[in-house]
Amino acid sequence: MLELTSPSALEVRRPNYRVTALIIASALFMEQLDSTVLATALPTMARFFDVSAPHMSVALTSYLLSLAVLIPASGSVADRFGARTVFSTAIAVFTLSSILCAQAHSLGLLVLARLLQGAGGAMMIPVGRLVLLRSVDRADLISAMSWFLVPGLIGPILGPPIGGMIVTYLDWRWIFYINVPIGVLGFALTWAFIENTRVETPQPFDLWGFSLSGVSLACLLFGFETTSRGVGDASLAFGLIGAGLVSGAAYVVYALRARRTTPILDLTLMRIKTFRVSVIAGALSRITQGAQPFLLPLMMQIAFGMSAAQSGLLTFATFCGSLMMKGFAGPLLRRFGFRNVLIWNGLLSSGLYATCAAFRQSWPHWSLFAVLAVCGFSMSLQFTAYNTVAYDDVPPERTASANSFYTTFQQLMLSFGICTGALALTLSKSLFGHAEASVEDFSAAFLVVTAISLLAAPVCLAYPRDAGAAMTGRGREREEMEAGAT
């Protein structure tokens, strides 16, 4: 049972759902911007720390390591200490650790600061989404999720050009300092507007499950990241992936046999049909979502010879399309229902991203921009629907567990998408004997990842025809008609 602070006061203080969504989205924006800006600045930072550029990948993997270990614990921690308390603390940790990153004078200190920053990120995004799920009425959840997702999409798009400008005209430390004003504002607004929801009697913390899932997810994400960047020993990467799979299997056995406590990643949630289908179909779709921001800028800069600024401006089209989608998600889902939208829009979004395989240097820039804008619209609609309907049949007392499970799987599949895109690109290069990735190699990689996402559409056929009816209002309209008939 959820316990809220001062119900009567909350009725007065509860903000419009758009305000709640945008406050939470500021944290998502900060986290996404940080990761993409940092990737752009790694060569410059490598020269400062007097190491090779491949060695700087540890600044990325250390963050992922912390993220992977702690995300599963986010729901349990929020239930125990309150969602607002944990969310605001996570913003504070992320902001302060950003300052520590900027002050680092050695690679070792940077890695330690990034580990701490990952701890903040692991709690910030999952708990932020939990706040949204608990504080917004179901009828407003579609629109709220649209507002929540759009600012988060700005980060990966603005990251490369901002990172390029910072390392060109300023000191690399400003990559981390730009998080400070966003973090301070997000922290203040959280305490002013967000409700502190928690369960009355939280479950005991699952230490064994936390350990097994942490080892599994850390090994898998570290292995995927190493493979995707093509640095280090390949045997180490595949060894990590193997260890992750073995420890993951051990966790599954443990979770299915657990009796005294709820496992930190509750596999019984997969018995809920709408949740199960959203996890599986969403995982297939996220292969493309993870690979596209990795492949597209590389193709434009390596194969087309564009500057980082030019490719950044073109990929900005994806954000423009996502922004346009914000006002259409609710009406489309109300008109056609979640099941129909996810099936047919899933086919459309996969087909649109497959069009990227046909991109050539001779195409006018406006045509590339137009295709990418429609891609952004379609894919953003798809994930707004997935991220909303997944919780349609989840009982309120299990929302935290469902959110941790869903977010963990989401992060894993996004990383796997990068790995899949990089692997397809490498295999194509080897097959055709290219020393550098050519346009044809990028085309092959795009076709591979979109072929995987096409598999999501048949999975979506398993959704009930009335899935999400309570969220769109269609179920309420049906009940009123039936009541009127009687």
pLDDT at 473: 63
pLDDT, averaged across the chain: 79
Which one has a higher pLDDT value, 326 or 444? 444
User: In the predicted model, what is the mean pLDDT of residues 5-15?
Assistant: 43
Q: In 3D, which of 74, 12, 43 has the Cα closest to residue 403? A: 74
Q: What is the pLDDT of residue 151?
A: 65
CB 274 within 8 A of CB 390: yes
pLDDT at 233: 62
Closest CA to 49 of 67, 236, 57: 57
Name which of 179, 228, 193, 194 is nearest 33 in CA terms: 179
Q: What is the pTM of this model?
A: 0.75
**1-205 is classed in which CATH architecture?**
Up-down Bundle (1.20)
Segment 328-376, tens digit of pLDDT: 877 888 888 889 999 999 999 999 888 988 998 889 988 988 998 898 8
Which amino acid, one-letter code, is at 374?
Answer: V
Q: In angstroms, rounded to a whole number, what is the distance separating the alpha carbons of residues 126 and 129?
A: 5
- pLDDT above 90: residue 246: yes
Q: What is the pLDDT of residues 287-296, one digit of tens each?
A: 888 787 778 8
Please answer whether residues 36 and 160 qualify as being in contact, where contact means their C-beta atoms are separated by less than 8 angstroms.
yes
* Confidence (pLDDT) at 21: 78
Residue 478's pLDDT band (boundaries 50, 70, 90)? very low
pLDDT score for 344? 94
Is there a common fold for 1-205 and 269-486? yes
CA distance 365 to 339: 35
- Judged against a pLDDT cut of 70, whether residue 39 lies above it is answered with no
Indicate whether 95 pLDDT > 90.
yes
Q: What pLDDT score was predicted for residue 485? A: 46
Closest CA to 378 of 346, 356, 410, 334: 346
State what percent of residues in the chain have pLDDT above 90.
11
pLDDT tens string 123-162:
888 888 887 777 777 767 777 777 776 666 666 666 766 7
Assign domain 269-486 to its CATH superfamily.
MFS general substrate transporter like domains (1.20.1250.20)
The ranges assigned to domains in the chain are 1-205, 207-260, 269-486
pLDDT value for 11? 39
* Range with the poorest average pLDDT among 96-110, 113-127, 131-145, 274-288: 131-145
pLDDT at 198 (0 to 100): 67
Going by pLDDT thresholds of 50, 70 and 90, the confidence category of residue 208 is confident
Query: Is the pLDDT confidence value at 437 over 50?
Result: yes
> What tokens were used for 67?
């993220």
Query: Rounded to an integer, what distance in angstroms lies between the CA atom of residue 452 and that of residue 192?
Result: 44
